[in-house]
Chain A
Amino acid sequence: MPLAIGAAIYGLAFGLLAAQARFSVIQVGVMGASVFAGGSQIVVAQQMVAGAGAVAAVAAGLALNLRLMLVTASIRDVYAGRPWWQVALGAHLTADENWALMLAQSARGRNVGYWYLLGGGACLVVVWCIATVAGVAFARAIPEPKSLGMDFAFTAAFIAIARSLWTGRRDLAPWLVAVAAVAASIHLAGFAPSWALMVGGVAGAATAGMLHHD
Chain B
Amino acid sequence: MTETWFVILALTVGTFAIRLSGIFVGQMIPQQGPLASGLRAVPGCLIISLVAVSLLSGGPNEWGAGLVALVVTMASGIAAIWLLRHFG
Contacts and interface: CB of A to CB of B under 8 A. Distances in A.
B33 A212 contact: yes
Contacts of B14: 58, 61-62, 65
A209 B19 contact: no
Interface string B6-49: 11101110111011111101100101111111111111111111
A161 interface: yes
A63 B45 CA distance: 11
Given A67-B39, A186-B57, A212 B34 contact: yes
A213 B37 contact: yes
Contacts of A152: 61-62, 65, 69
Contacts of B52: 178-179, 182-183, 200
A149 B65 contact: yes
A54 interface: yes
B15 A68 contact: yes
A214 to B, nearest CB: 5
Contacts of B31: 70, 73-74
Interface of A is mostly: helix
A159 B42 contact: no
Contacts of B57: 186, 193
B5 interface: yes
Given A30-B8, A149-B65, A214-B32, A204 B22 contact: no
Contacts of B23: 72-73, 76, 79, 87, 91
A200 B43 contact: no
Nearest to A195: B53
Given A178-B49, A214-B37, A58 B44 contact: no
Contact of B26 (A36, A72, A174, A213): A72
6 contacts: A62-B18, A64-B43, A74-B31, A76-B22, A155-B54, A207-B41
Interface of B: 1, 3-8, 10-12, 14-16, 18-23, 25-26, 29, 31-58, 61-62, 65-66, 68-70, 72-74, 77
